[in-house]
Structure 1
Amino acid sequence: MMNKKHSFRRFSGIFLILTTIFVVFSCKKIDDNPIVDQSQAADLHFADMQVSQDFTFKTTQDISVTIRTLDNTGAPVPNTRVNVYTDLPDNGGSLILSGTSDNNGLFSTDYKIAAGIDSLAVGTTAIGFSNMQKVRVSGGTLDFTLGGKDPSQGFKSGGEFIFKSTNATFYPLGSYNSNGVPNYLVTPNDVIDAATMQDINATLPERIAAPVSHPQYFSASNEHNLVLNDPCNIWVTFVHEGAGYRNVLGFYKYNTNDPPVTPADIDSIYIIFPNVSFTGSGGGLSSGNKVHLGAFAPGTTIGWVLIADGFRNGTITNGNWILYSDPNLNPVTAADKKQHTILLNDIGRKKLLLSFEDIRRDGSSDNDFNDAIFYVTADPIQAVETQNLPLPDYTATDSDNDGISDNFDDYPTDAGKAFNNFYPSENGVGTLAFEDLWPSRGDYDFNDMVIDYNFNQITNSQNMVVQIKASITLKAFGASFKNGFGIQLPVSPGQIASITGTDLKENYIVQNSNGTEAGQSKATIIVFDNTYKQMPYPGGSSTGVNTTPGSTYVEPKVLNLTINLTSPVSLSSIGTPPYNPFLIIDGDRSREVHLINNPPTDLINSSLLGTSNDASNPGSGRYYVTANNLPFAIDISGPFEYTIEKSEVTQAYLKFFQWGESGGTQYFDWYKPMTGYRNTSKIFSR
């Protein structure tokens, strides 16, 4: 269960502590940062920066994402959901990308992330794979394989260890290493192929309560133990773990005619897997790892034991609680909550599927019963009593018939939509900050219009964008001009079916029937056309709204846009938000302000390009930049506490100057609330 895993599990791998990005709709000063030398701050003038001509003031980096989903033979496992987070969710990581692997087991796209991030978290909720791991971003590439052939294991023997529990003695079947990987694994590993994994995903889907999806698995007549009528050998194969605990799997045995009535009747528990945890997820197991339990006489019954979080500091302990395959032995009072094991007869594969719910069901359990999954193999299989064993369900629930099962589908009842893809992340915002005197330079406080944004590019079952949802928050404007705001997408107007959520108050914007702006060769969306009709002017000595200290604070205005496409477009071709955002100056549709080197729309008065302080050169692809390569607007990939009126951004953000002069190689996190980074007296506070 993914939610539990990241609540409890310490992950191995490469760790980078990321600043948690929170959605904020008001501006607050970070008071725990010291105000630095005021004379130093006063000397940091924006116009004095000596900036390389190829620096674009980006706070992001472009990356190419490639993720493979393979079984333990290296063969593709298609149609597997993959997720990419800013960091491990347990560290505050937030979802960026999601989608499904193709027939070759491949998910790939281009995206962008904050500059300086050198790792992301990659994972899946599909059974048979490790849920989440940190992955290095190197050279603009994130490349990772989920699953694949079993890596070689460098064993460091922990020795054979016998531990006395409250009622029974634990007997490991042999020695194991410090990660709890047995030294007695059978070779070769069992093959857990794509078909097997897909069938198990259908039988025990993640995030779906098994008593609801498969009530037949909870019949009182079902058998949960392994009843042997003839002599046979037994093996147990690790398939999957989706738990937050480092669980221990064991078994006990008894004469079929003399079952234990209480846990006290069990004197010996034999440990199969000391640590039921994937490599990179708190342990060292891979799907297909197999253990021989031994040869058993007829009339023997094998019961299963899961010690919840029982592997600690390299040893086997009593854990949080001990769960048994016999429901009557479990430490749960309610009769309908006692069962913690499912045992199914996979007739076609001549195996038994064994699974556990590791959180007490009288507590916070999600009841999906896929916290630890194994295959049991018997030779001969006919020696096992299978009469009271239910069968697996090989048919996944897909309510909208889009090819993505409901438990992997973010939109299970909408065949046109399947996955969410956020920028900058699900719980994060980016900020746009504009000057509005173009083609003349402004005062470089970058607060003439300040907008927070969050985008969700919703994709279908083929990972193609079908809808864009955007949250646009106008936070402040330190200007007397009645400015507007728009976004241009890299698609034709005809590729837009409809747009909702814009708010036009004036009469200078002409729209097509689909909500795009008329007269444009690319789809252009005017979000609003007058800042003063979005946030009311408080009066007094305030310049604009929410930029003058001591003035009446006005709540930011949030506009929620929905953009529907006429046909699906790939993530890579539509690009990464905020696309080409721009400010419309004081109701004059012929004057726009864009980010550095972003082209104007078709409605610009092109004769203004290259005049006054603007050094645009359309022939060389240079736009909205001064002769010294300084911008008229900036895009920050995180929340930005903007400056007060008439205070240059370099005087409030003391590392901005060095960031600019270094071409972005130093202090790429200049906007974050770190010690010595800010002069808080220059930053607006509510």
Structure 2
Amino acid sequence: MNTLHLKRSALAALLSSGFVTSAHAADDATDTLVNIDLPTGLVQEVQNALPESANVNQEYLNTDYNPNITFQSDAHVGITFLDEGAGYRNSLGYFTFADDTFDSLSFGDIDTNNDGHVAIKELTSVSGITAGMIFNNVSETGGGGSLNAGDTVVLGGANITNVNGTDFDMTGGTTFSDGTNMGFFVLQNAWSGKKVNSWDNNKNTLAMYTVDFLNPENSASATSDNTDINARHVAMMNSLSADNDIIIGFEDLVRPYGDNDFNDAVFRIRTDPVDAMYAFVPTTQTVINMQAAPAPAMGKSMSGMALMAFGMMVMYRRRKPGKKA
């Protein structure tokens, strides 16, 4: 059953749970929170694609595709929590940027204190960057937080309306403009129970981004066209069981250390209108099938595997269930 919360009742529930505090209740997007029905099998599909404590399939990390989204018309954006396997109480946010925002910058240009990682306040000091919090604590119920699969928020102060099964609309608030790029970030173990460290104060919390060259594996000379081999921190895919919705899973530890399972914060992205974003991503089912298949022999079988990998990449344009584009 869909559970539609009015803003005040949702906020009251979150406050009573300790998920946010009154001092920072408006800092993330949870005052718009609605629990939306998920397509049957979606969470299991995600867990199969990103199994706990298992190295993620490298096809999800293929650098031929860009793990950020671009708007091809003005749009509202909804974010749905699906799963998390983190030992930390991480915080999830987003940032927007133009095509040329990072063109003349290196990692060292943005890492102004030269400590080897780009803090969120260093990123937001870059001209053309805007950022906001999505979930102050992106931890699930029973795992240090209060989120449940299907909990959905809208960015920009819009409201979720016309909930119908797995479908919903987004109205009011502000929209993101045609041509805008949107990325996401995780602040590692940033939720203190009262504040998001480095967002609400000057603590220097480690951040992981969907823009590869911003991540801590890089050298000071790294640029958007020249990043470390381990600098990708998100597995991005589309889901066949969820009408090809975009799914993103974060790895919250510096790579290649840790478990590299990329399930530390897993969420779905949806836009209204439904065809407002695109991304070049693999499908979950194809990669799951590749994981189950025998490893290819060396030689000409490798070329077949390369063709298979190419075939699984799709240019994404999601269509809302039951509606024609």
154 and 312 in structure 1: CA distance in 2 versus 1, 3 angstrom threshold: closer
Contact 2:239 / 2:285 at 8 angstroms: preserved in 1? no
Residue deviations 1:384-440, cap 9 Å, x none?
Answer: 122x2222236465689xxxxxxxxxxxxxxxxxxxxxxxxxxxxxxxxxxxxxxxx
Per-residue Cα deviation, 1:492-534 (whole angstroms, up to 9, x for no partner): xxxxxxxxxxxxxxxxxxxxxxxxxxxxxxxxxxxxxxxxxxx
% identical aligned pairs: 26
| Secondary structure, aligned partner of 2:24 | coil
Deviations along 1:640-664, one digit per CA (max 9) or x if unpaired, are xxxxxxxxxxxxxxxxxxxxxxxxx
- Give 1:249 shift: 0.1
Q: Which amino acid aligns with 1:330?
A: N
Partner SS for 2:229: helix
Q: Which residue is equivalent to 1:184?
A: 32
Alignment of 1:487-566 (within 5 A): none
The match for 2:22 among 136, 159, 166 is 159
Q: Secondary structure, in 3 states, of the residue corresponding to 1:269?
A: strand
| Correspondence for 1:173 | 28
Shift of 1:325: 0.5
In 2, the alpha carbon distance for the partners of 1:285 and 1:378 equals 21
Q: Which residue in the other structure is 2:87 paired with?
A: 244
Q: 1:154 to 1:372 in 2, by over 3 A?
A: closer
Within the candidate set 200, 205, 218, 2:51 is matched to 205
Where is the strand percentage greater, Structure 1 or Structure 2? 1
Q: 1:227 to 1:274 in 2, by over 3 A?
A: same
Structure 1 residues 342, 376: CA separation in 2 closer, same or farther (over 3 Å shift)? same
Cα 1:160–1:344 change in 2 (3 A) is farther
Match of 2:132 in 1: 270
Q: Does 1:321 align with 2:206?
A: yes
Distance 2:197 2:15 in 1: 21
1:172 counterpart SS class = coil
Q: Give the corresponding residue for 1:568.
A: none
Equivalent residue number for residue 296 of structure 1 = 176
C-alpha contact (below 8 Å) 1:237/1:374 kept by paired residues: yes
Distance 2:77 2:102 in 1: 20
For 1:338 and 1:184, the matched residues in 2 are separated by 33
Q: Distance in 1 between matches of 2:244 and 2:293?
A: 30
Q: How does 1:422-441 map to 2 (within 5 A)?
A: none
Equivalent-residue separation in structure 1 for 2:236 and 2:124 (angstroms): 21
The structure whose residues are more often helix, as a share, is 2
Q: Give the corresponding residue for 2:254.
A: 360
- Distance in 2 between residues matched to 1:195 and 1:280, nearest whole Å: 21
Following superposition, the deviation at residue 257 of structure 1 comes to 3.4
Structure 2: which amino acid aligns with 1:155? L
Matched residue, 2:282:
390
Could you report, residue by residue, the CA deviation over 1:449-482 in whole angstroms, capped at 9, with x for unpaired residues?
xxxxxxxxxxxxxxxxxxxxxxxxxxxxxxxxxx
Partners of 1:350 and 1:377 within 8 A in 2: no
Unmatched segments (≥5 aa) in structure 1: 1-71, 74-149, 163-170, 175-181, 401-686
Q: CA deviation at 1:291?
A: 0.9
Contact 2:77 2:154 in 1 (8 A): yes
Secondary structure class of the residue paired with 2:155: strand
- Indicate if the aligned counterparts of 2:238 and 2:282 stay in contact, CA closer than 8 A: yes
Are the counterparts in 1 of residues 98 and 179 from structure 2 also a CA contact under 8 Å? yes
Give the deviation of 1:374 after TM superposition. 0.2
Task: Specify every segment of 5 or more residues in structure 2 that has no aligned partner in the other structure, as ranges.
Answer: 3-9, 111-117, 157-174, 199-203, 220-227, 295-325
Q: What is the 5 A alignment of 1:112-127?
A: none
Deviations 1:532-571 (CA, angstroms, capped at 9, x unpaired):
xxxxxxxxxxxxxxxxxxxxxxxxxxxxxxxxxxxxxxxx
Select which of 353, 372, 380 maps to 2:265: 372
Q: Which amino acid aligns with 2:188?
A: A
1:287 maps to which residue?
A: 149
CA distance in structure 1 between the aligned counterparts of 2:101 and 2:14, rounded to whole angstroms: 43
Report the residue type matching 1:206 in the other structure: E
Aligned AA for 1:384? M
Q: Does 1:337 align with 2:226?
A: no
RMSD: 2.9
Deviation at 1:192, TM superposition (A): 2.7
Distance in 2 between the 1:281 and 1:274 partners? 14
Query: How many matched pairs?
Result: 231
Q: Quick one: distance in 1 between partners of 2:206 and 2:177? A: 30
1 CA distance for matches of 2:265 and 2:28?
19
Query: SS of 1:378's equivalent?
Result: strand
User: So what's the TM-score if we normalise by structure 2?
Assistant: 0.63
Distance apart, 1:366 and its partner CA:
0.7
- Give 1:195's aligned residue: 41
1:254, distance to aligned residue in structure 2 (A): 1.4
Select the residue among 188, 202, 208 that pairs with 1:308. 188
Deviations 1:114-145 (A, max 9, x none): xxxxxxxxxxxxxxxxxxxxxxxxxxxxxxxx
Please tell me whether the aligned partners of residues 217 and 254 of structure 2 are also in contact (alpha carbons under 8 angstroms): yes
| Matched letter for residue 367 of structure 1 | N
Match of 1:351 among 205, 223, 245: 245
Which AA in structure 1 matches 2:15?
Answer: F
CA shift in 2, pair 1:312/1:251, >3 Å: same
The corresponding residue for 2:321 is none
Measure, in 1, the Cα distance between the counterparts of 2:89 and 2:265.
10
Rounded Cα–Cα distance in structure 1 between residues aligned with 2:47 and 2:190: 26
Write the distance in 2 (CA, Å) between the matches of 1:304 and 1:255: 14
Q: How far off is 1:299 after superposition?
A: 1.1
Paired amino acid for 1:354: I
| TM-score (normalizing by structure 1) | 0.31
Higher relative contact order (CA closer than 8 Å, sequence separation 6+):
2
Q: C-alpha distance in 2, partners of 1:230/1:370?
A: 30
Please tell me the residue identity of whatever aligns with 2:210. Answer: S
Letter in 2 for 1:270: G
Distance 1:287 1:293, change over 3 A: same
Work out the CA distance in 2 between the residues paired with 1:173 and 1:315.
11
Q: 1:259 to 1:227 in 2, by over 3 A?
A: farther
